[in-house]
Structure 1
């Protein structure tokens, strides 16, 4: 991966819908050359995909929480992760080292819905302990920063 690949990645992180022609103008290459480079970055797994970023408030889900959880003894992690897919309020889950097993990012309509999710996690998914914090706001630093290293 060279400097131009890194520039292309930074541009795509800012606007994943940019055309090859637009990208080419910014890195001073032809659209065909840019297309070849982007395809190669995809084929080698550097680019894993493209997605839309949703505004959760537009869906009435403006209350976001970060929850650290411990699973009860004997809970199968693979089964737990599969069951999380059936909890629509859970946006992401990360398995952790340290005192807690997972960190969940959740989005709810209000405190009542959040309480219901907590109850479900404990009753159905084997969560033993949960520590949650309300997200006040997020500072997006951008993945393009890693391209500078």
Structure 2
């Protein structure tokens, strides 16, 4: 991966819908050359995909929380992960090392809905302990940070 690949990736991180023509203009290469580079980055797994970033508040889910989860002893991790798909308020999940097993990103309409989510996680998904923090806002650090060698 060279400097131009990193420039292309930086642009795609900011605008995943940028056309090959636009990418080429910004890195001073032809659209065909940029397309070849992007396809190669996809083939080797550097670019895994593209997705839309949603404003959850537009869906009435303006209360976002980060919840550290500890599972009860004997709960099957794969079953827990599969069941998370049944909880629409859970919009992200990461398996962790350390004191907690997972960190969930939860988007709710209000505290009452979050309380319902907590009850469901404990009753149906095998959560033993949950520690949550209200997300006030994300600090944009810029896409270039992950591209530095």
Q: TM-score, normalised by structure 2?
A: 0.97
Which residue does 1:63 correspond to in 2?
63
The Cα RMSD (Å) is 0.8
What SS does structure 2 have at the residue aligned with 1:50?
Answer: coil
- Are residue 81 (structure 1) and residue 81 (structure 2) matched? yes
Question: CA offsets, 1:32-80, max 9 Å, x none?
Answer: 0001100111111100001110000100000000001110010000000
The secondary structure found in structure 1 opposite 2:106 is strand
Alpha-carbon separation, structure 2, partners of 1:99 and 1:148: 30
Q: What CA distance in whole angstroms lies between the structure 1 residues aligned with 2:148 and 2:25?
A: 21
Say if 2:14 and 2:143, in contact at 8 Å, map to a contact too: no
Q: State the partner residue of 2:134.
A: 134
Q: How many residues align?
A: 149
1: CA distance, partners of 2:122 / 2:77: 14
Distance in 1 separating the partners of 2:16 and 2:74: 42
- Residues 32-71 of structure 1 aligned to structure 2 (within 5 Å): 32-71=32-71
Match of 2:113 in 1: 113
Answer whether contact 2:16 2:50 (CA < 8 A) is retained.
Answer: yes
Unaligned runs of 5+ in 2: none
* Distance in 2, Cα, partners of 1:92 & 1:32: 36
Relative to the length of structure 1, the TM-score reads 0.97
How far the C-alpha of 1:141 sits from its partner, in A, is 1.6
- CA deviation after TM superposition for structure 1 residue 7, in Å: 0.4
User: Unmatched 5+ residue regions in structure 1?
Assistant: none
**CA offset at residue 146 of structure 1?**
1.7
User: What is the aligned partner in structure 2 of residue 11 from structure 1?
Assistant: 11
